[in-house]
């Protein structure tokens, strides 16, 4: 085992994700504590390696099948690298790609996995802080075995710090056998334009589970119209089919930075917060005084949104 920290990187359309750079930034801090180095694993085009200058060594596995993420091939490649390099810590962004990678690597390499991490420390043993139950609970977790895989929520470290600061030496690594894949990448599907571009709005009235029914969304529409803005929503509203996907804010939806973000009945799961924390003024209304949305809002009111909406619409 080394004291090294290995980041399993992810790329889409020729660019690494912010999550990759956040992981590299955290990796540097951990490697400094452990007296080791930062390694980055790139499964994909070697031409992308220069963008991983935050790592000391970039381990490149370049095969045509790895150009686009493949949920069977990528975890297999990363597992082989973790088994060979034996890093103390493996960091993976907790994303659509990373969640498939982290879990499989932990089983194949028999390493403990901690998900939903907001921070990881290597001072006096490995430990992490995690956000569970849709952000309602914070957990402190110890990993006594000195090695572990950590899946990082967005915001675990500043991405800018992870873009440079390493030696960036590139080492090509042969791929494990990928001839028997049952999963074949076919194509990327680009988003279709919606009726309203929520990323271009100055004011967003955002409804969450607390809006209770499709019919009630009309009240939010009336308020948004009075404010000269538009209605957006959190994921459960789209999953129920009440609003189209193009109105969804968050990890699997869109990232927005409006001047005013008025959240009505949005609990504030980490996946939602990831898409709206850049708003200038965040005002949250929720019945639950412990709703995590109040942790990111500038202003909050605890109460019934159905009492508030008509009062506010009248004043705008």
Footprint of another protein on 223-252 (CB under 8 A): 227, 236, 238-241, 245-246, 251-252
39-47, 49-57, 68-76, 164-172 -> range binding another protein (CB under 8 A): 68-76
Do 50 and 163 meet the contact criterion of CB atoms below 8 Å apart?
Answer: no
Question: 36, 75, 87, 166: which one contacts another protein (CB under 8 A)?
Answer: 75
CB of residue 205 vs another protein: minimum separation in angstroms?
10
Site mask, another protein, residues 268-307, x = CB under 8 A?
A: ------------xx-xxx--xxx-x-xxxxxxxxxxx--x
Tell me how far apart the 2 most distant CA atoms of the chain are, in Å. Answer: 66
> Do the bridges between strand 113-121 and strand 126-132 make them parallel or antiparallel, or are there none, so unpaired?
antiparallel
**Judged by CB, which is closer to another protein: 4, or 246?**
246
Measured CA to CA, the distance from residue 57 to residue 81 in angstroms comes to 13
Q: Return the number of other C-beta atoms located less than 10 Å from residue 237's C-beta.
A: 24
How far is Cα 108 from Cα 8, in angstroms, rounded to an integer? 15
Cβ pair 101, 212 in contact under 8 A: no
Restricted to residues 14-43, the positions that interact with another protein (CB under 8 A) are: 17
Q: With CB under 8 A as the contact rule, which of the stretches 37-45, 47-55, 114-122, 159-167 interacts with another protein?
A: 114-122
Distance CA 258, CA 155 (A): 19
Number of residues that bind another protein (CB under 8 A): 102
User: Closer CB to another protein, residue 221 or residue 288?
Assistant: 288
| Closest separation in Å from C-beta 93 to another protein | 11
Q: Would you count residue 144 as binding another protein (CB under 8 A)?
A: yes
The Cα 145–Cα 1 span in angstroms is: 12
By C-beta, is 171 or 316 nearer to another protein? 316
Q: Which of residues 155-174 bind another protein (CB under 8 A)?
A: none
Contact status: 87 vs another protein (CB under 8 A): no
Alpha-carbon gap, residue 141 to 143, rounded angstroms: 7
| Minimum CB–partner distance for residue 117 and another protein (Å) | 10
Under rule CB under 8 A, residue 107 binds another protein: yes
* Among 54, 266, 258, 268, CA closest to 153: 268
Sign of the dihedral defined by the CA atoms of residues 85, 89, 93, 94, in that order: positive
Identified binder of another protein from the candidate list 16, 21, 69, 78, rule CB under 8 A: 69
């Amino acid at each position: 085992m080394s004291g090294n920290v290995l980041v399993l990187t992810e790329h889409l359309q020729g660019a690494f994700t912010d999550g990759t750079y956040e992981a590299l930034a955290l990796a540097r801090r951990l490697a400094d504590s452990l007296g080791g180095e930062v390694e980055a694993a790139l499964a994909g085009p070697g031409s992308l390696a220069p963008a991983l200058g935050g790592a000391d060594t970039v381990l490149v596995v370049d095969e045509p099948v790895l150009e686009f993420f493949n949920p069977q091939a990528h975890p297999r490649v990363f597992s082989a690298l973790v088994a060979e390099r034996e890093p103390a810590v493996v960091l993976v962004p907790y994303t659509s790609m990373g969640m498939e990678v982290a879990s499989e690597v932990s089983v194949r390499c028999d390493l403990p996995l901690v998900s939903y991490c907001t921070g990881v420390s290597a001072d006096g043993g490995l430990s992490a802080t995690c956000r569970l139950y849709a952000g309602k609970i914070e957990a402190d977790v110890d990993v006594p075995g000195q090695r572990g895989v950590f899946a990082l929520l967005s915001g675990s470290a500043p991405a800018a710090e992870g873009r440079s600061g390493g030696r960036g030496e590139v080492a090509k690594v042969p791929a494990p056998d990928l001839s028997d894949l049952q999963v074949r990448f076919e194509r990327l599907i680009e988003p279709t334009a919606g009726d309203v571009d929520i990323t271009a709005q100055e004011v967003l009235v955002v409804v969450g589970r607390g809006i209770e029914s499709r019919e009630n969304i009309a009240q939010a529409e009336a308020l948004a119209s009075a404010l000269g803005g538009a209605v957006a929503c959190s994921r459960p509203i789209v999953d129920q089919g009440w609003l189209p996907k193009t109105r969804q804010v968050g990890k699997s939806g869109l990232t927005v930075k409006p001047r005013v973000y008025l959240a009505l009945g949005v609990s504030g799961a980490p996946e939602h917060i990831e898409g709206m924390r850049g708003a200038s003024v965040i005002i949250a209304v929720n019945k639950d005084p412990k709703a995590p949305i109040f942790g990111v809002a500038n202003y909050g009111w605890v109460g019934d949104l159905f009492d508030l909406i008509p009062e506010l619409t009248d004043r705008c």
